[in-house]
Amino acid sequence: MDRHNCHLGAARHRRVPSTPPQMAQSAEKKTPKPDPPKPKRPKKRKQPSSGQIAEEFIISTLEKGIEGLRREFNRNPRIYDTAKCTVSCRNPTLNRYKDIGCHDYNRVHVVGANPDEYIHANYVGIEENPKCFICTQGPMETTCADFWMMVIQQKAWVCVVLSGRAAV
């Protein structure tokens, strides 16, 4: 039996080219397909302004109300890891509250202040802007000058007091 031809009864089969001649000619005449479009880079998310962030915070806080804020406060433990608050622990006289530490990793540094001292203040933010707010204790007589130096150096344009009148 021939390798390219075989006999099955009366019918004779022959090998057919994989592309018929008409298609082969039309394939040669076709223009090449354009490259597929490159995937578009995702648009960079627009960073919210400090004003927008502050507005969202205020709205969220007002929606929680006093009782909601108390529940949230009581849910959080009041202990802190002293290994993460080494400067705070070395300066207990500069801390208004003994049970609230000041983390070293996001601490606000006041330029020109005594290098052995510090101000109890931390940057607070979101992923897009890790330094959008400063959270600090109310200044004491011994820290008042450093507090205002920090406000000026950090160009803070709004100060919000979240404590009872006795603490200020």
Domain residue spans of the chain: 49-77, 79-167
This prediction's pTM = 0.50
Query: Residue 2: its pLDDT value, please?
Result: 46
Best CA proximity match to 132, nearest among 152, 108, 97:
108
Residues with Cβ < 8 Å from 96, sequence gap 6 or more? 120, 137, 138, 140, 167
| Number of neighbouring beta carbons within 10 Å of residue 124 | 14
Q: What is the pLDDT of residues 72-120, one digit of tens each?
A: 888 876 666 767 888 787 888 888 888 788 888 888 888 876 666 678 8
Q: What percent of the chain has pLDDT over 90?
A: 6
Q: What is the pLDDT of residues 107-164, one digit of tens each?
A: 888 887 666 667 888 888 877 777 778 888 888 888 888 899 999 998 888 888 777 6
Contact by Cβ (8 Å): 133, 125: yes
